[in-house]
Amino acid sequence: MSASLYVNGALVGILIDYLDAKQVSVPPFKKKLIELQTQERIAIQTWINLLDEVAQLTPIPVVGLRIGQYINASHTGIVGYLSSSCGSVGEALALFERFARLIYDVNSLSMTMANETVTISWGSEHVTPGQLADETAISVFFTMVQIIAGRPLYPSKINFINQMPVDVAPYEEFFNCPVSFGGIRTIVEFPAEYLNITLQNKDAKLLDLLEDHAQTLLSTLPKDLFADRLKQLLIDMLKKQEVPSLDNIAKHMNTSTRTLQRRLNDQEIKFQELLASVKLDLFNVYIKNEALTLFDIALLLGYSEQSAFTRAVKRWTGNVPKNFRK
């Protein structure tokens, strides 16, 4: 499991509040939680281990769902307060999608809308944290949406990527909707009409202030594995002679083109520059293989016309392809 995957340290506060509510007192463990809560970020594996310990202390069914019910804005840092200052549920969810890494920097998040249904989904490209962590995360999301909206809002469908448990009923009772398991992404769906619900605590000035601060915090986060994975995907697609378009890449990454573009922007990655860099690296490998003609290399790099290939190589290197074979 990658050490570069994190959750916000403030999220540990939910475990403290949950154990206090259950009147579970283990002083050494609580001291550990309090110390971790003060940290800006904790590794995802640390978070998973903490959840396991809490589950052992309170051995009840679907404990992750119960933990998530104790979430409040203080546990989610600036994103919680930012969402609460929005004018509508739709605006709050859009900002949540944009700044989700400040709370849960694990797998990619995507929000799409089709056929009057909004879909929030999380991938598994970096890690699969397991059912306990996933159900806690979805319970947190579900509870926060209700807190922000100031009313009960139930999903129309939920899917977890993990194996189906013996009894699905507790999940469907908690979320008040059909819940399935075994998908390729964790998904929460709800009616698009929810987006228009007006929030009571709208504060435009505070929203602008918090949004600027959140953007600053986002820019300071360590680069995740996204750039490395994208580069490897481009290499694989070119080798298979697939068109490395944003739409095709998004499909490979099980995300939307919009979310892919947002992640590129967040990490200040210029897609065409990255693609050119990958092609140059491959060119430097292929040109050394005497069994490959220049025409072969052009096709391998995605150029059906030799002239376009020649212009690209000259742009990258200042020289034309044939000069590398002298």
> Angle 131-149/77-84 helices, nearest 10 degrees?
30
Domain count, the chain: 2
Mean pLDDT of 189-215: 90
The C-alpha atoms of residue 160 and residue 65 are separated, in whole angstroms, by 13
The enclosing domain of 311 has a CATH number of 1.10.10.60
**Residue 152's pLDDT is what?**
92
Look at residue 256 in the predicted model and tell me its pLDDT: 84
Average pLDDT rounded to a whole number, residues 8-30:
96
Angle at 76 between CA 75 and CA 79, to 5 degrees: 150
Question: Are 66 and 214 found together in one domain?
Answer: yes
Q: Which of 102, 99, 96 is nearest to 40 (CA)?
A: 102
Q: What is the average pLDDT across 266-274?
A: 84
177 plus 139 within the same structural domain: yes
- Domain membership of residue 133 (yes or no) is yes
Q: How many CB atoms lie within 10 A of CB 27?
A: 7
In a shared domain, residues 170 and 281: no
- My answer on whether 239 and 316 are in the same domain is yes
d(CA 63, CA 68): 9
Q: Domain check: are 124 and 155 in the same one?
A: yes
Q: Mark whether 68 and 152 lie in a shared domain.
A: yes
4 pLDDT more than 80? no
pLDDT above 90: percentage of residues in the chain: 52
For residue 8, pLDDT over 70 is answered with yes
pLDDT beyond 80 at 1: no
Q: How confident is the model at residue 181 (pLDDT cuts 50, 70, 90)?
A: very high
Question: Is there a domain that residue 318 lies in?
Answer: yes
Judgement on whether residues 236 and 270 belong to the same structural domain of the protein: yes
Q: What is the mean pLDDT of residues 178-188?
A: 92
Q: What is the reported pLDDT for 28?
A: 95
DSSP string of 231-297, one letter each residue: HHHHHHHHHTT----HHHHHHHTTS-HHHHHHHHHHTT--HHHHHHHHHHHHHHHHTT-TTS-HHHH
Q: What is the mean pLDDT of residues 170-185?
A: 94
Q: Among 187, 218, 249, which residue terminates a domain?
A: 218
Residues 137, 200, single domain; the answer is yes
Q: Is residue 56 part of a domain?
A: no
* pLDDT score recorded for residue 177: 97
Q: Is the pLDDT of residue 225 over 70?
A: no
Report residue 3's pLDDT band, with 50, 70 and 90 as the boundaries.
Answer: low
Mapped onto helix, strand or coil, the DSSP state of residue 203 is coil
Domain presence at residue 51 = no
Give me the chain's average pLDDT, please.
Answer: 89
Whether residue 206 sits in one domain with residue 128: yes
Q: Are residues 169 and 255 in the same domain?
A: no
Same domain? For 183 and 127 the reply is yes
Report if residue 299 sits inside a domain: yes
Amino acid identity for residue 290 in this structure: E
How sure is the predictor about 7, in pLDDT bands with cuts at 50, 70 and 90?
Answer: very high
| 195 and 269 assigned to the same domain | no
Domain boundary among 194, 218, 242: 218
Evaluate whether residue 34 is within a structural domain. no
Query: What is the DSSP-derived secondary structure letter of residue 323?
Result: G
In this predicted structure, the answer to whether residue 29 has a pLDDT above a threshold of 70 is: yes
pTM across the whole model: 0.73
Flag whether pLDDT at 128 surpasses 90. no
Q: Where is average pLDDT lowest: 90-104, 184-198, 211-225, 309-323?
A: 211-225
Indicate whether 28 belongs to any domain: no
Domain-ending residue, one of 165, 192, 218: 218
Range of the structural domain that residue 268 is part of: 226-325
- Give the pLDDT confidence score for residue 224 in this predicted structure: 56
**What pLDDT is attached to residue 144?**
94
- Is 44 among the domain residues? no
Cβ–Cβ < 8 Å for 143, 136: no
Residue 326 has pLDDT above 70, yes or no: no
Question: What one-letter code names the amino acid at 312?
Answer: A
- C-alpha 144: how far from chain center: 17
Burial 182-201 (b: 16+ CB within 10 A, else e): eeebbbbbbeeebbebebee
